[in-house]
Amino acid sequence: MIRLGIVYFSVTGTTELLAQEIERGASSVKKVEVQSFRINKKQLVDGRFVDQNMLAQLDTCDAIIFGSPTYMGGVSSQFKAFADATSELWCEQLWANKLAAGFTCGSAPNGDQSSTLHYFFTLASQQGMLWVSIDAAHGYTKKHLNRLGSQLGVVAHVSGDGLHEVDKATAQYLGQRVAELAKKLNQSESM
C-alpha cells in the first residue's frame, strides 16, 4: 500500500478545496491511501509548529504534497512554521527519496504564486525529496489542464466565482500523477 500525505494551510477554505481535489485524484489510484493534514492554530505555540504526531505520520508517507495560499509573494506564516519544524528531519534526511509536489492559490492571476511553489520545491530539495511537476503544457494538450501555465505545481486563481473548473481538474491530475509515480517508484525499489 502506498501512503500519500497532503499537508496544507487554509484560512478561507480555498486551499482546502484544492487539497480535496488532489486527494480525489490520488485516491483514484488503486492501492494508494491518502491522508490530509490541515495546519491549524492549535498546532502553533508561540509561533512554533508543535504537532510531532503529524510529523511522525508524514514520516510514514511515500509522497507528500505541500499546499498554502500565497500571501505577499510566499507561503503563509502558518505553513512556514510547519516547514521550520521539519528542520530536525532535515538533519537526518528522514524524508529523502519521498516524492513531493505543491499547490497554491491567490486572488490575482499571477500574484507571485510561483514564489510559493519555489518555496515548496526548495523545502523538498533540502529534505532530499524528489519533485513531481505538472506534465501538461498550457494550451498544448487535450487534457484541459494547467490553464495558468505553471509547470512547477498547481496554481489556482481565486475569483468571486470560486475555483475555476480547470484549476480543480489540474489539482486532481497532480494527485493522480503523484500517486501513480509513487507506485512505480515503490515497485522498482521492491525488484
- Looking at the domain covering 2-189, what would its CATH class be? alpha beta
C-alpha span between 161 and 190 (Å, rounded): 46
* 191 pLDDT above the threshold of 70: no
User: Model pTM?
Assistant: 0.94
Q: What is the 3-state secondary structure (H, E, C) of 123-146?
A: HHHHCCCEECCCCCCCCCCCCCCC
Query: In Å, how far are 2, 29, 31 from 58, measured between CA atoms?
Result: 12, 19, 18
Cβ-based neighbours of 25, under 8 Å, separated by 6 or more: 171, 172, 173, 174, 175, 176, 177, 179
Burial of 190 (0-12, 13-18, 19+ CB in 10 A): exposed
The predicted model gives 8-32 an average pLDDT of 95
C-alpha span between 58 and 65 (Å, rounded): 10
* 88 pLDDT above the threshold of 90: no
Q: What is the mean pLDDT of the chain?
A: 91
Cβ-based neighbours of 63, under 8 Å, separated by 6 or more: 2, 3, 4, 5, 98, 99, 100, 101, 132, 178, 179, 181, 182
| Percent of the chain at pLDDT exceeding 90 | 68
Cell 492559490, located at residue: 105
The predicted model gives 122-131 an average pLDDT of 96
Q: What is the pLDDT of residue 187?
A: 81
Would you kindly state where each structural domain of the chain is located, as residue ranges? Answer: 2-189
Nine cell digits for residue 125: 530539495
* 183 pLDDT above the threshold of 90: yes
